[in-house]
Amino acid sequence: MNFWDYLGTRHQQLLTDAYQHASAVFQCMVVATVIGVLIGVATYRSEWAGNLATTVTSTVLTIPSLAMIGLLIPVVGLGVAPTVTALTLYGLLPIVRNAIVGLRGVDPALVDAAKGIGMSRLHRLARVELPLAWPPILTGIRVSTQMLMGIAAIAAYASGPGLGNEIFRGIASLGSKNALNQVLAGTLGIVVLALLFDAAYVLIGRLTIPRGIRV
Amino acid sequence: MSPTPGDDPHAPRRGPVARQAARPPGEHEVKGLAFRDAYRDEYGEDPEGYGAEDPAGPGPSASPVAREPRRVTWQKLTFLPALLAAVLLATWLWFARADLDPISRNALSDGQVGKALRQHVELTALSTFFVLIIAIPLGILLTRRRFRKGAPVAMALANTGQATPAIGLLALLVIWLGIGERAALTGIVIYAVLPVLSNTIAGLRANDPTLLEAARGIGMSPLGVLTRVELPLAVPLILAGVRTALVLNVGTATLATFGGGGGLGVLITTGITNQRMPVLMLGSILTVVLALLVDWLASLAEIVLSPRGLEVRS
């Protein structure tokens, strides 16, 4: 059975896996973005807290994902829970870092001007600082998503959802005729999903980055 | 020991002398006006004799040695190793008291933990070595005039490569090359070459073209420009690439177990498939400790090996 035949006969399964992969990554990214930006907003004004957040996130980023999942299993069990926890945790890191860098990079004169025309703290944050810090945050989201695509594949080993299952099925049946097809389908599926997400982010960037600061 | 007056070792001995004598090195007189080479701003260094002319006033702190900040602070040297040692100690104490069932004991017996750890370190070190000897020369080649057209292609390839899941790449290689350490090693190397390559290219490209022009202008050969100007200037970025490679490789090496390559991943997967939490925990903790240790060592190397003139001072 060649690859195209394989895709033809298994497309139902593959589409389900692809959908689950994309939806797991997407949902975790939404949660990670919200939490990451909140952490950034909470810490960027203090030198100490901001640096602590950056150091902690970069330390966690060096932990291999399989080890992280391994540490999570005794706590939350197998299945969707460790996948979602690990994905959200890893997804946070580039976003927190970029949010802090972005928010600190906002010209203080602009914030001062906003204060001068009578904007409240919350208003300044929502109308001035966050829109200006949005491009780096969006870059962080892109980096996170690419990373999560690969981590989600590994999480399938802890009975997580997604295309990683296809790859692990292939590894389990090494030597059989379908092993290559399964691994190839899983891998290429993830690459395609990653590229689709990336294209979507370019579009989101076009739509959401204020025209005045577009490069 | 009582210093005789006027011979205080802390007194600015150079100051008055330098001022009376001809202008100190780096200062010239142009049409009666004093000019000073901008050594300090350019390099953050304080060549002999400059402390004396400091507007803040010559004093004990003005000596070049005293104002040099320590590159490696003691906090940086001690904090992480202490933390990791504490984690390892806690794990060991926990294991000494835990009572393991036969399956767990079997998985951890006969020095299998040591073997897995050794394999893991071996995989990481070997793959990093190969990554460096492939990526750095390739990066240099792709920034030469003749091959410069290839650089965007390599960069685009690097970006797509990032989207490929490591586990899928490894599985494909295992199918192609067969089970064993070779497939695992190849996969780890391929996965890390691209980030280091793009780091090297970015580092060499970021060099100020006027410096290269100047180097050529004083008659340096292309090889001389490369080895004496370009590479030293790109050292920080290349070292950052090495660090990236090391950290990536420790992580990818955990996946080597899926291709029969051994490593600490063996303990993790055994723990998951047999539902034996002690084995799983031990594998995971050792992996985490190894990753953080490697990152720490690489960060020290980054600080120590960077050319001093390129340091950013706040």
Task: Please determine, for residue A17, whether its predicted confidence score (pLDDT) is greater than 80.
Answer: yes
B interface residues, A as partner, C-beta within 8 Å: 160, 162-169, 171-172, 174-175, 179, 247, 250-252, 254-255, 258-259, 264-265, 268-269, 271-272, 277, 280-281, 283-285, 287-288, 291-292, 295
What mean pLDDT comes out for the span B255-267? 86
Calpha distance A120→B119 (Å, rounded): 58
- Nearest by CB to A71, which of B166, B265, B284? B284
Q: What is the pLDDT of residue B36?
A: 47
Q: Is A178's Cβ below 8 Å from some Cβ in B?
A: no
What mean pLDDT comes out for the span A33-49? 91
- Nearest by CB to B251, which of A65, A186, A190? A65
- pLDDT band for position B211 (50/70/90)? confident
Q: What is the pLDDT of residue B93?
A: 84
Of B118, B238, B258, give the one whose Cα is nearest residue B188: B258
Q: Which residues of B touch A164 (CB under 8 A)?
A: 165, 167
Residue A47, amino acid: E
Q: What is the pLDDT of residue B60?
A: 41
- Which residues lie below 8 Å from residue B199, measured CB to CB, with a gap of 6+? B139, B237, B238, B240, B241, B244
Calpha distance A148→A128 (Å, rounded): 30
Q: What is the mean pLDDT of chain A?
A: 89
User: Higher-confidence residue: B55 or B191?
Assistant: B191
- Nearest by CB to B277, which of A74, A167, A174? A74
What's the pTM value of the predicted model, to 2 decimals? 0.77
Instruction: Identify the CATH number of the domain defined by range B74-310.
Output: 1.10.3720.10
Q: What is the pLDDT of residue B43?
A: 40
Task: Please determine, for residue B45, whether its predicted confidence score (pLDDT) is greater than 80.
Answer: no
Q: What is the pLDDT of residue B16?
A: 39
> A97-101, A187-191, B102-106 — which is least confidently predicted?
B102-106
What mean pLDDT comes out for the span A181-206? 91
Q: Is A71's Cβ below 8 Å from some Cβ in B?
A: yes
Q: Which helix (H) or strand (E) holds B30?
A: strand B27-30
User: Higher-confidence residue: B51 or B200?
Assistant: B200
- Which residues lie below 8 Å from residue B82, measured CB to CB, with a gap of 6+? none
Exposure on the CB side of residue B271, measured as CA atoms within 13 A: 27
Of B261, B259, B264, give the one whose Cα is nearest residue B293: B264
> B11-20, B223-232, B247-256 — which is least confidently predicted?
B11-20
Chain B nearest C-alpha distance from A149 (Å): 7
- pLDDT band for position B162 (50/70/90)? confident
What mean pLDDT comes out for the span B119-146? 88
Q: Which residues of B touch A150 (CB under 8 A)?
A: 164-167
Task: Please determine, for residue B71, whether its predicted confidence score (pLDDT) is greater than 70.
Answer: no
Task: Please determine, for residue B7, whether its predicted confidence score (pLDDT) is greater than 90.
Answer: no
Q: What is the pLDDT of residue A141?
A: 93
User: Higher-confidence residue: A121 or B73?
Assistant: A121
Q: What burial letters (b/e) apply to A14-25, b meaning 16+ CB within 10 Å?
A: beebbebbbebb
For chains A and B, what is the number of CB pairs under 8 angstroms?
118
In whole angstroms, how far apart are CA A5 and each of A162, A191, B19, B136? 21, 20, 88, 42
Task: Please determine, for residue B143, whether its predicted confidence score (pLDDT) is greater than 80.
Answer: yes
Task: Please determine, for residue B288, whether its predicted confidence score (pLDDT) is greater than 80.
Answer: yes
Task: Please determine, for residue A95, whether its predicted confidence score (pLDDT) is greater than 60.
Answer: yes
- pLDDT band for position A215 (50/70/90)? low
Task: Please determine, for residue A206, whether its predicted confidence score (pLDDT) is greater than 80.
Answer: yes
Cβ atoms of B245 and B228 within 8 Å: the answer is no
Q: Would the CB atoms of B175 and A64 count as touching at under 8 Å? A: no
Chain A nearest C-alpha distance from B234 (Å): 23
User: Higher-confidence residue: A167 or A214?
Assistant: A167
Q: Would the CB atoms of B168 and A73 count as touching at under 8 Å? A: no
Chain A nearest C-alpha distance from B188 (Å): 13
Q: What is the mean pLDDT of chain B?
A: 75
Q: Is A187's Cβ below 8 Å from some Cβ in B?
A: yes
Task: Please determine, for residue A175, whether its predicted confidence score (pLDDT) is greater than 80.
Answer: no
Q: Would the CB atoms of B272 and A183 count as touching at under 8 Å? A: no
Q: Would the CB atoms of B165 and A146 count as touching at under 8 Å? A: no
Nearest CA in chain A to B255: A66
Q: Could you confirm whether domain A3-213 is CATH 1.10.3720.10?
A: yes
- Which residues lie below 8 Å from residue B185, measured CB to CB, with a gap of 6+? B123, B126, B127, B130, B256, B261
Q: Is A179's Cβ below 8 Å from some Cβ in B?
A: yes
Phi, psi angles (nearest 5°) of residue B76: -65, -35
Question: Tell me, what DSSP letter sits at residue B238?
Answer: H
Q: What is the pLDDT of residue B237?
A: 79
Task: Please determine, for residue A164, whether its predicted confidence score (pLDDT) is greater than 70.
Answer: yes
- pLDDT band for position B70 (50/70/90)? low
Question: Tell me, what DSSP letter sits at residue B52?
Answer: G
Q: Is A167's Cβ below 8 Å from some Cβ in B?
A: yes
Residue A58, Ramachandran bin (φ over 0: left; ψ between -120 and 50: alpha; else beta): alpha
Task: Please determine, for residue A25, whether its predicted confidence score (pLDDT) is greater than 80.
Answer: yes
Chain B nearest C-alpha distance from A102 (Å): 20
Q: Which residues of B touch A157 (CB under 8 A)?
A: 269, 272
Testing the interface with A: which of B120, B257, B281, B284 to mutate, by most A Cβ within 10 A?
B284
Q: What is the pLDDT of residue A117?
A: 92
- Nearest by CB to B291, which of A62, A180, A184? A62
Give the helix ranges, DSSP H, for B111-229: 112-143, 150-163, 166-177, 181-205, 209-217, 222-224
Query: pLDDT, tens digit, for every residue of B302-312?
Result: 888 877 766 65
Q: Is A190's Cβ below 8 Å from some Cβ in B?
A: yes
Testing the interface with A: which of B83, B160, B167 to mutate, by most A Cβ within 10 A?
B167
Q: Which residues of A touch B91 (CB under 8 A)?
A: none
- pLDDT band for position B57 (50/70/90)? very low
Q: Where in chain B is the domain with CATH 1.10.3720.10?
A: 74-310
Q: Which residues of B touch A51 (CB under 8 A)?
A: none
